[in-house]
Amino acid sequence: MKDAKTLLLEFLAAVTHGQDAAAQFAEDGALELPFLHSLGIPWRHRGRQAIRELQDQLAGLYVDIGFLPEDTIVLIDTPEQVFAEYMAHTTARATGRTLHHMFAARLVAENGLIKLVRESLNVVAAAQALLPGGVKDLPDPEKVIFSVPPDYRS
């Protein structure tokens, strides 16, 4: 049975090589990127189909997204959970801008499959790379701002 670290490394490799990363998730597994909420982007993707759709969207945003093993630092490693930082070196399809983007994630494993991946990323850096005018293209802020959804729970 695969442990959490193995699942994380295989997940990152699948994302970068166009493989079906969603197949590594439990049927009810989830991939969460809570800080995307601040950009008005759906942040929780539950189930293999939703995770596949997210992976397809990422492929459309970036020309060559990749996570190299040497750019992955595992900070906490138990059989059921792993926490790591990893760097993507990629090019935004819409702007041609190069982005060196650090992610941090906690992965929870259950019965040899991924139950949860919760990733954090710098949404300002993503906006700078993806939007033609960078952060200037973001909508004006509202009176109350939530960096994650108001109902978010760890």
- Local structure of 39: helix, strand or coil: helix
Which residues are CB-contacts of 58 (< 8 A; sequence separation ≥ 6)?
A: 15, 65
Long-range contacts made by residues 94-98, C-beta under 8 angstroms, separation at least 24? Answer: 94/61, 94/130, 94/131, 94/132, 95/129, 95/130, 95/131, 95/132, 97/128, 97/129, 97/130, 98/129
- What total of structural domains would you count in the chain? 1
pLDDT attached to residue 74: 98
Which domain range does residue 49 map to? 4-137
Residue 79 falls inside a structural domain:
yes
* Contact predicate 114/11, CB 8 Å: yes
Any idea what the CATH number is for the domain that residue 53 is in? Answer: 3.10.450.50
Q: What's the distance, CA 26 to chain centroid? A: 17
Q: What is the DSSP code (8-state) at residue 80?
A: S
Q: Does residue 143 lie within any of the structural domains?
A: no
The yes-or-no verdict on residue 9 having pLDDT over 80 is yes
pTM: 0.90
* Predicted confidence (pLDDT) per residue in 42-98, tens digit: 999 999 999 999 888 888 889 888 888 899 999 999 999 999 999 999 999 999 999
Is residue 18 pLDDT above 70, yes or no? Answer: no
Percent of the chain with pLDDT over 90: 69
